[in-house]
Structure 1
């Protein structure tokens, strides 16, 4: 079983101190949410884990190996994939081309597996990325990360702006990913999705973790939800 542990993580944008000692942990086959208001440090946490933002202090340990200081491509090769909020789809490439350029030959996820999990992508496999709806682009972004053989998948706002029927499909897909043994760190504003999916919740405020708890514990924390998550 793999484990990703973040200890005392600090990072900056210029002189602005954004992350101020983030600590959290994710195991294989576990969905963990990172919750908080806009500007709390959620996206920066994801970017710092994968090296897009350089950590100034602390550690990101994958099975005991510290990844801080490694290049972005080295961290990706270790099995940590980020699906960013903007999705990063290549619009001029077809769905299948977007997937094929990301395939890791060691990945247990074949194109056939992906098309079973994402039937919409199979139907649109010859369509260009720009021709897809927002929900289809999100599915393609997740699928592309999977064929790259991740141990841990970091998702930034995967259901934002999507219709409820597509949100339900994303929830189904994330359940399948967890069942396959991939650990998921989910940044998401849709609290009902988070409470439905997650095994564990962390709440971040001003770059610090202010709450952590299991699914059962978090369901009773009306004060925490009101204080840190209410708009």
Structure 2
């Protein structure tokens, strides 16, 4: 088990957002956090990486409880969050965005990122602000890889993107998964989730209300209707 979140409670001011969330991720596993808007999915990611400090509970990464550490120290240990807003530097080139994040000990270099994201190599001299939404998402993921993550967390990576770009990013994430990367994915597109994930958690009102393997989740129409208000065709 590379990451175990144990009964964390997190707040925004006096608002009790996470009310005892527990999730875990094994080496090389892809896990999704599902749920309606406002359920606490993004807050869970922020709590893991230290942007939000849990008031109770543990976040155990590679055997150490990292709750209370500054976010930059948690990131330096190998927990990386790719936020929903992507956070790329629009005035820097693609290559500058990537190289500024590079770590000497990283298993990922420019060639590795360009192999998975050939569009980035084509656009390497372009400014980040000149990229399409899909290309900016690829850049955000590529930049995360340059930091040598052991667990990569993605918040809504395909939101608002055209279906052809979604398919491209899913294919790229499958390549990253094949390297043995552990991934936590927050995503509303259930088809994307079921293509990538080994296991799923559903969060509702700050609590985990459902956990299942991908096969179990695909077969459980009742859970999809009850907790997500949707159904998918496999």
Is TM-score (shorter-chain normalized) higher than 0.5? yes
For 2:111 and 2:194, how far apart are their aligned partners in 1? 31
**1:169 is matched with which residue?**
168
The CA deviation at 1:221 is 1.3
For 1:61 and 1:34, how far apart are their aligned partners in 2? 18
The CA deviation at 1:176 is 1.2
The CA deviation at 1:69 is 0.3
**2:181 is matched with which residue?**
182
Deviations 1:22-81, CA, capped at 9 Å, x for gaps: 001011211100000000000000001000011100011012100000001100011000
**1:65 is matched with which residue?**
64
**2:222 is matched with which residue?**
223
The CA deviation at 1:15 is 0.3
Deviations 1:109-163, CA, capped at 9 Å, x for gaps: 1101111110000000000010000000000000000010000000000000001
**1:152 is matched with which residue?**
151
For 1:145 and 1:186, how far apart are their aligned partners in 2? 14
For 2:109 and 2:77, how far apart are their aligned partners in 1? 19
**2:26 is matched with which residue?**
27
**2:192 is matched with which residue?**
193
Alignment of 1:82-161 (within 5 A): 82-161=81-160
Alignment of 1:30-49 (within 5 A): 30-49=29-48
For 1:44 and 1:37, how far apart are their aligned partners in 2? 13
**2:12 is matched with which residue?**
13
SS of residue paired to 2:159: coil
**2:204 is matched with which residue?**
205
Q: What is the aligned length? A: 230
The CA deviation at 1:182 is 1.0
Instruction: Point out where structure 2 has 5 or more consecutive residues left out of the alignment.
Output: none
Instruction: Point out where structure 1 has 5 or more consecutive residues left out of the alignment.
Output: none
The CA deviation at 1:178 is 1.2
TM-score, structure 2 as length reference? 0.97
TM-score, structure 1 as length reference? 0.98
